[in-house]
Amino acid sequence: MSSSLQSPFPAVRTVTISYLELQDRTVDLSAKIEEGFGPKGLGILSVSDVPGFPSLRQDLLRLSSRLARLPEDAKKELEDPDSRYNFGWSHGKEKLESGKPDLLKGSFYANPILDSPTTDASLIQRYPSYCGSNIWPTKELPELELAFKALGKLILDVGLMLAYHCDRYAAKMMKLHEDETLEKILLNSRCHKGRLLYYFPANQSTSDEDNDNLSSWCGWHTDHGSLTGLTCAMFTRDGGEIPCPDSAAGLYVRTRADEIVKVYYGENEIAYQIGETTEILSSGYLCATPHCVRAPKGTEAFNLERSTFALFMQPDWDQKLNFPDEVHIHKEFIPSNCALTFGEYSEKLLDKYYHSKS
């Protein structure tokens, strides 16, 4: 990155694990897991040298702006209000920290593993954001489905390897039953959800205040799933890929010590962030952190677009969550002395960040 603009916050590189290390189930990676995901970590680390990842990343992210530029009536056909826009195309539906709709971010959601996780009508009605079916733009953008599924499956497979090493670390501090390990929970889940993100140029915002915020491209939030796999963002202008012109733009994390740091990792690395559910199931030994995305500023940022992909690795909808005594996030949703399923917990969060179910 090249720019005279500087972030007032320190820039920190993620803890990095090589794919070869991750593959080896005999290697103890607990020190790196603790450094990245433990109580003093940033809640994020990255995996390097994953075979095939660079080309799959390029293939999918290049489709992001094409999807966002489809005619409005075509995008309308890709919307799924019944799932509260958690399948297909979503734009201006999500609300984060400000309570206002996020108009600078378009999203395409799909389950990269299962097109229809269940045929049970009662489950589809109860948990529509997970049990619904994928909606692909087969006429307008037929190559999207293959690229989306290929990248999502790879990030899931690498994430399952990482989950195994997270379990080895957590097992040193707490008793883990075989069916309660992060690896087993994620391996058996039908709830994984991919999100292809397209960020419209920040200069299209109607609010100068939004452009000045640290969270100008994505508001502060904490992922509520188990493990989120992230690609490094691709920046484009007029259809061509360019380096980000502002070194202060990008992903920011708020640590447990309430410090804000800018986090970066390699273009060809997959980053993984801990979500709230893993923090709950690990009794706080693996920690989720709030994060946001800052848009580039300055004249060189004019008409700059950003594309990225996130895979939310999540438990099955009927997975029981037994909450620890001390919870840092969304305390208002957790009844005392009570366990919720992941599906029930998710519905409470979706009521907050999206439209409530009618």
Q: Find which of 180-194, 309-323, 326-340 is predicted with most confidence, using mean pLDDT.
A: 180-194
Determine which helix (DSSP H) or strand (DSSP E) holds 73, and give its type and residue range: helix 72-77
DSSP-derived secondary structure for 164-191 = HHHHHHHTTTS---GGGSHHHHHHT-S-
Q: To 10 degrees, what angle do helices 143-170 and 53-61 make?
A: 130
> What pLDDT digit, counting tens, does each position of 78-126 carry?
999 999 899 999 998 766 555 556 677 899 999 999 999 999 999 999 9
Record the pTM. 0.90
> What pLDDT digit, counting tens, does each position of 130-187 carry?
999 999 999 999 999 999 999 999 999 999 999 999 999 999 988 887 778 999 999 9
Q: What is the mean pLDDT of residues 4-20?
A: 85
> What pLDDT digit, counting tens, does each position of 241-271 carry?
999 988 888 999 998 889 999 999 999 999 9
Residue 358 has pLDDT above 50, yes or no: no
Q: Which residue has the higher pLDDT, 298 or 46?
A: 46
End-to-end Cα separation, the chain, in angstroms: 46
Q: What is the mean pLDDT of residues 204-219?
A: 63
Q: What angle do CA 82, 88, 89 make, to 5 degrees?
A: 105
Q: Find which of 154-168, 227-241, 314-328 is predicted with most confidence, using mean pLDDT.
A: 154-168
Length of the chain (residues): 358
Determine the 3-state secondary structure of 163 from DSSP: helix
